[in-house]
Structure 1
Amino acid sequence: MKSAVETLNPTRVRLTVEVPFEELKDSLDAAYKKINQQVTVKGFRKGKIPARVIDQRFGRGAVLEEAVNDALPKLYTEAVNEAEIDVLGQPEVDIKELKDNELLSFTAEVDVRPSIEIPDYSGIEVEVDAVEVTDADVEEAVEQLRERFASTSPVERAAEEGDVVTIDLEAKVEGEVLEDGIANGVSYTIGSGELLDGIDDAVKGLEAGGEGTFTSELKGGSAAGKEAEVTVKVTQVAARELPELDDDFAQLASEFDTLEELKADSRKRLENTKQYDQATQAQERVLDKLLELVEVPVPEKLLEDEINTRKHNLEHHQLGQMGLTLDKYLEIQGKTAEEFETETREAAVKGIKTQFVLDELVKREKLNVNQEELTEHLMRRAASSGMSPDQFAQAVVEGGQVPLLVGEVARGKALAVVVEAVTVKDTNGEVVDLSDEDEAEDGAETAEATEAAEAEAPAEEKAAEDKAAEKTEG
């Protein structure tokens, strides 16, 4: 077999392959065997029809077509390996010549991973938010904890902001009560915003037994998105009572004996959270700066596939779970269809460029992924998908997605290498050292890096997660 490679552009090549006919022998034998099992000829047992009879009855062309279809995948793979090219996606194959007992010639156009030069990035400098925890931050955190331990007690007065009311609801659309528009005994905290728009004004001032009506757009159910007239009846008003902020509260709400110890722990937790956020912010901004330094051509077919995958996942998975259409989502976001298209394309381009650049760094730095790192990443991915680690791991293995997860971890490590080599300063002008931060190492795969890891085969990875989700539901 002879093959030649022609570069069409930085991300696409054309392979021209010539195959001597004798190399098709195995595929020809397989073609005759397959046809033998599919047809019957009077006077011959099934599977025992001679090749010459098949040629006479069904035509040599049918045999050649079957043999070529069988041989092409192997011949294409051999040509790719011989040329040492890193292909992306499926090729467009064109049979140029097929001479019986002489020659098979074909071309295959396919996208390839572009050659990328990573320049010296040590001069990159980014600014991140300083890690500062104020007394007000601590007081807010403690107050939120206090809210969780609030108690309620019925009162005989009109409902006020912050009260917990028990209510019955009835929704009508165009004068008709909806089948799923009745709900009784619903507990609602006035001002929480957890139910329908307009309900707060409707129930404020009502005592137990009082009724009110208001108009609101339904967020879910059979008439989601439609305007409804809602009748609300208050059956009970209860006041929320917050516990005193003292040592007794600290012992009730935590493992600490004093309020001061509880506050000190809250401060430490806030510092850890802000350090993690700072590390993530540094990774994102360093990645943006790195991408500005590198010229990365993007294969058009890969880009279109990634855009379509992102749209599909948004419409059929994320929005579908929320009961929203794409049009409704855009309305809520205040975006036009054109703005959505532009943002989706820009995100897809960035994802693909990020993957290419980080993969190149993985090769250059000779980074490997050990079992512990893969397991930790798998645990995080399982948690973010709402599945147990065992379920997620089983789906990943069954779907052949392990290499994709390995790629994500490797890219995270590559980004961590860059972050450690550049200068990161906070808004106070102080140099931030992220090399010793556990959070920086554990969170090395930023949102962009993880997103980019899916750019090459996002549909397959999503299929693995969907499969696990189906098992969970089952």
Structure 2
Amino acid sequence: MKSAVETLNPTRVRLTVEVPFEELKDSLDAAYKKINQQVTVKGFRKGKVPARVIDQRFGRGAVLEEAVNEALPKFYTDAVNEAELSPLGQPEVDITELKDGETLNFTAEVDVRPAIEIPDYSGIEVEVDAVEVTDEDVEKSVEQLRERFASTSPVERAAEDGDVVTIDLEAKVDGEVLEDGVAKDVSYTIGSGELLDGIDDAVKGLSADEEATFTSELKGGSAAGKEAEVTVKVTQVAKRELPELDDEFAQLASEFDTLEELKADSRKRLENMKRYDQATQAQERVLDKLLELVEVPVPEKLLEDEINTRKHNLEHHQLGQMGLTLDKYLELQGKTAEEFDEETREAAVKGIKTQFVLDELVKQEKLNVSQEELTEHLMRRAASSGMSPDQFAQAVVQQGQVPLLVGEVARGKALAAVVEKATVKDTNGEIVDLDDEDETEEAAEAATDSTEAEAEEKNEG
């Protein structure tokens, strides 16, 4: 077999392949065998029809077509490997010549990873938020903990802001009660905004056994997005009572004996969270600076597929779970379809460029992924997906996604290596020392992973 490569543009090539006919022998034998199992010829046992009879009855062309279809993937792969190409997606194959007993010639056009030159990135400088935890931050954290330990007690009065009411709901659209529009004994905190728009005004001022009717747009269910007439009946009003902020509360809500110890721990936790956020911010800003330094051509077909994938995931998975159409979602976000398309395209371009550049760095720096690093990454991904590590690992193996996870970890290590050489200062002008290697790589993985879903995240924001 002989092959040649023609570069059509920085991200696409055409392979021209010539295959001597003798190299089709195994595929021809397989074609005759396959056809033998599918046909019946009088006078011959099943599977024992001679090749010449098959040629006479069904045509040599049918055999050649079957043989070529079976052989092409192998010849294409051999040509790709010989040319040391990194193809992206499926090739467009065109058989240019097929002479029985002589030769098979074909061309294959395919997108390839572009050649990328990584310049010196040691001079990158970025600014990140300073790690500052105020007394107000600590008080807010403790107050949130206090809210979790609130108790309720029934009261004989009209409902007020902050009360917990037990309610029955009935929703009608066009005068008809919806099958999924009835709910009993729903517990709702007035002012929480967790149910329908307008419900707070409707229930405030109602006592037990009183009801009110209001109109609201349904957020989910069979009539999601439609205006409904909703009747709400209050069956109980309860007052929320917060525990006193004292040492007794600290002992109830934590492992600490005093409120001061609880506050000190809250401050430490907030500082750790802000340090992690700071590290993630550093990764993202260093990544942006790195991408500015590198010229990365993006294959149009790959970009088109990435955009379609992002749109599909948003529309059919995220919005589907929320009971929203894309049009309704854009209306709620105050965006036009053109703005959404542009944001999605920008995020897709960034995601592709990020992968290309960091993969090149992995190769350039000869970075490897250990079993321990892969396991740690798998545990984090499992936690974020809501699955157990065993379930997530099983799904990854079954779907053949282990190489994808290895790539994610390797790219995280590559970005961490760039950050290590960058100058990172906080808003106070202080040098930030990202010296926790595990945390830095974890944050880097988070930063690189985020580029894959940035379109959805930006639109949700």
* 1:153-211 deviation line (CA, Å, top 9, x unaligned): 11122211111111222222222222222222211111111111111111112222222
* Aligned partner letter, 1:345: R
Matches of 2:454 and 2:247, distance apart in 1: 50
Equivalent residue, structure 2, for 1:169: 169
Q: Is 1:190 matched with 2:190?
A: yes
Matches of 1:53 and 1:454, distance apart in 2: 61
Q: Which runs of 5+ in 1 are unaligned?
A: 456-474
* Aligned partner letter, 1:315: E
Matches of 2:446 and 2:146, distance apart in 1: 33
* 1:253-298 deviation line (CA, Å, top 9, x unaligned): 0000000000000000000000010001111111011101100001
Task: Determine helix, strand or coil for the equivalent of 1:362.
Answer: helix
2:347, 2:454 within 8 Å by CA — same for their partners in 1?
Answer: no
| Shift of residue 437, structure 1, vs aligned partner | 5.8
| Shift of residue 453, structure 1, vs aligned partner | 10
Matches of 2:383 and 2:174, distance apart in 1: 43
211-220 vs 399-408, greater mean Cα deviation: 211-220
2:208, 2:235 within 8 Å by CA — same for their partners in 1?
Answer: yes
Matches of 2:16 and 2:437, distance apart in 1: 52
1:255-266 to 2 correspondences below 5 Å: 255-266=255-266
Matches of 2:183 and 2:345, distance apart in 1: 43
1:117-136 to 2 correspondences below 5 Å: 117-136=117-136
TM-score (norm 2): 0.96
1:57-206 to 2 correspondences below 5 Å: 57-206=57-206
Equivalent residue, structure 2, for 1:395: 395
Equivalent residue, structure 1, for 2:239: 239
Equivalent residue, structure 2, for 1:36: 36
TM-score (norm 1): 0.93
| Shift of residue 221, structure 1, vs aligned partner | 1.8
1:275, 1:439 within 8 Å by CA — same for their partners in 2?
Answer: no
Matches of 1:349 and 1:337, distance apart in 2: 18
Q: Is 1:417 matched with 2:408?
A: no
Equivalent residue, structure 1, for 2:361: 361
Q: 1:159 to 1:449 in 2, by over 3 A?
A: closer
Q: 1:398 to 1:135 in 2, by over 3 A?
A: same
Equivalent residue, structure 2, for 1:279: 279
Equivalent residue, structure 2, for 1:348: 348
Equivalent residue, structure 1, for 2:459: none
Q: Which runs of 5+ in 2 are unaligned?
A: 456-461
Task: Determine helix, strand or coil for the equivalent of 2:393.
Answer: helix
Task: Determine helix, strand or coil for the equivalent of 2:101.
Answer: coil
Equivalent residue, structure 2, for 1:3: 3
Matches of 1:303 and 1:60, distance apart in 2: 42
* 1:106-147 deviation line (CA, Å, top 9, x unaligned): 111111100000011111111110000000000010011111
Matches of 1:260 and 1:216, distance apart in 2: 46
2:116, 2:295 within 8 Å by CA — same for their partners in 1?
Answer: yes
Task: Determine helix, strand or coil for the equivalent of 1:108.
Answer: strand
Matches of 2:438 and 2:428, distance apart in 1: 23
* Aligned partner letter, 2:257: D
179-188 vs 114-123, greater mean Cα deviation: 179-188
2:219, 2:324 within 8 Å by CA — same for their partners in 1?
Answer: no
Matches of 2:253 and 2:185, distance apart in 1: 29
Equivalent residue, structure 2, for 1:471: none
* Aligned partner letter, 1:321: Q
Task: Determine helix, strand or coil for the equivalent of 1:156.
Answer: coil
* 1:409-455 deviation line (CA, Å, top 9, x unaligned): 00000000011110111110111011236432322213444545999
Task: Determine helix, strand or coil for the equivalent of 2:445.
Answer: coil
2:93, 2:107 within 8 Å by CA — same for their partners in 1?
Answer: yes
Matches of 1:453 and 1:253, distance apart in 2: 37
Equivalent residue, structure 2, for 1:303: 303
| Shift of residue 215, structure 1, vs aligned partner | 1.3
Matches of 1:197 and 1:417, distance apart in 2: 49
Q: 1:454 to 1:200 in 2, by over 3 A?
A: closer
Equivalent residue, structure 2, for 1:383: 383
2:36, 2:47 within 8 Å by CA — same for their partners in 1?
Answer: yes
1:282, 1:424 within 8 Å by CA — same for their partners in 2?
Answer: yes
2:350, 2:451 within 8 Å by CA — same for their partners in 1?
Answer: no
Equivalent residue, structure 2, for 1:21: 21
Equivalent residue, structure 1, for 2:288: 288
* Aligned partner letter, 1:368: N
Matches of 2:245 and 2:98, distance apart in 1: 87
Equivalent residue, structure 2, for 1:269: 269
| Shift of residue 8, structure 1, vs aligned partner | 0.4
* 1:285-318 deviation line (CA, Å, top 9, x unaligned): 1101110110000111111111111111112221
Equivalent residue, structure 2, for 1:461: none
Task: Determine helix, strand or coil for the equivalent of 1:110.
Answer: strand
Matches of 2:161 and 2:167, distance apart in 1: 15
Task: Determine helix, strand or coil for the equivalent of 2:206.
Answer: coil
| Shift of residue 10, structure 1, vs aligned partner | 0.4
* Aligned partner letter, 1:399: Q
Matches of 2:40 and 2:184, distance apart in 1: 71
Equivalent residue, structure 2, for 1:53: 53
* Aligned partner letter, 2:248: D
207-216 vs 160-169, greater mean Cα deviation: 207-216
* Aligned partner letter, 2:332: I
Equivalent residue, structure 2, for 1:319: 319
90-99 vs 38-47, greater mean Cα deviation: 38-47
* Aligned partner letter, 2:354: T
CA RMSD of aligned residues (A): 1.6
Matches of 1:54 and 1:209, distance apart in 2: 86
118-127 vs 325-334, greater mean Cα deviation: 325-334
* Aligned partner letter, 2:368: N
| Shift of residue 246, structure 1, vs aligned partner | 0.5
2:7, 2:14 within 8 Å by CA — same for their partners in 1?
Answer: yes
